[in-house]
Chains A and B, each alone.
Chain A
Amino acid sequence: MREYETVIGLEVHAELKTESKIFCACTTEFGGEPNTHVCPVCLGMPGALPVLNKKVVEYAIKAALALNCEIASICRFDRKNYFYPDLPKAYQISQQDFPIAAGGYLMINTPDGEKKIGINRLHMEEDAGKLVHAGDDIARADYSLVDFNRSTVPLVEIVSEPHLRSPGEARAYLDHLKAILEYTEVSDCKMQEGSLRCDANISVMPKGSKEFGVKTELKNMNSFRALQRALEYEVERQIGLLKEGKEVLHETRTWNEQKGITEVLRSKEEAEGYRFFPDPDLMPLVIDEQWVEAVKTTIPELPADKKERLMKDYDLPEYDAGVITSSKSLAKFYDSCVGLYDDPKEISNWLMGELLRLLNTNNIEIEDSPITAENLVELLKLQDEGVISGSIAKKVFEEMFETGTDPETIVEKKGLKQISDVGELGQIVNGVMEKNPQSVEDYRGGKERALKFLVGQVMKETRGKANPQLVNELFLKKL
Chain B
Amino acid sequence: MASIWEAVKRSAISANLDVSEEELDIYVQRIKDIIGTMDELRGISTENTEPTVNVLSAQNIFREDTVWEGLSRDSALKNAPCVEDGQFRVPKIV
Q: Name A residues whose Cβ lies closer than 8 Å to a Cβ of B.
A: 18-20, 24-27, 33-40, 42-43, 51-57, 74-76, 81-85, 98, 131-133, 138-139, 141-148, 272-273, 275, 278, 280, 282-286
Q: Contact at B70–A54, with CB atoms within 8 Å?
A: no
Q: Given A25-B70, A35-B76, A98-B53, do A143 and B91 touch, yes or no (CB 8 Å)?
A: yes
Q: Are A147 and B53 in contact (CB under 8 A)?
A: no
Binding site for A on B (CB under 8 A): 10-11, 14-16, 53-54, 56, 58-68, 70-71, 73, 76-77, 84-94
- Chain B residues contacting A76 (CB-CB under 8 Å) are 53-54
Not counting A20-B68, A55-B65, A83-B16, a sample of 20 additional A-B residue pairs whose C-beta atoms are within 8 angstroms of each other reads A20-B66, A25-B70, A36-B73, A39-B71, A40-B71, A51-B63, A53-B63, A54-B62, A54-B63, A76-B54, A133-B93, A138-B93, A143-B89, A143-B92, A145-B85, A146-B87, A275-B15, A283-B58, A283-B59, A285-B60
B residues within 8 A CB of A39? 68, 70-71
Given A25-B70, A273-B14, residue A43 in contact with residue B87 (CB < 8 A): no
Please state if B70 and A38 are interface contacts (CB–CB under 8 Å). Answer: yes
Query: Are A285 and B59 also in contact (CB < 8 A) when A43-B71, A74-B53 are?
Result: yes
Closest 8 CB pairs of A and B: A39-B70, A25-B68, A55-B65, A145-B87, A284-B54, A54-B62, A146-B88, A273-B14
Across the interface, name the chain B residue whose C-beta is closest to A56: B65
> Which single member of A52, A133, A148 contacts B62 (CB below 8 Å)?
A52
Nearest residue (CB) in B for A278 is: B54
A19→B65 contact, CB < 8 A: yes
Q: Are B54 and A283 in contact (CB under 8 A)?
A: yes
Option from B15, B85, B90 in Cβ contact (under 8 Å) with A85: B90
The chain B residue with its CB closest to the CB of A85 is B90
A286: chain B residues at CB < 8 Å are 59-60
| Cβ–Cβ < 8 Å partners of A19 in chain B | 65-67
- Inter-chain CA distance A400–B63, complex, in Å, is 47
Which of A51, A83, A98, A142 contacts B61 (CB under 8 A)? A51
**Which residue, of B16, B54, B94, has the highest number of chain A Cβ atoms within 10 A?**
B54
Decide: A81 and B15 in contact? CB cutoff 8 A.
yes
CB-CB under 8 A from B70, the residues of chain A are 24-26, 37-39, 42
Contact (A35, B73) CB under 8 Å given A75-B53, A145-B88, A147-B87: yes
Cα of A286 to Cα of B11 in the assembled complex, Å: 32
- A residues within 8 A CB of B53? 74-76, 98, 278, 284
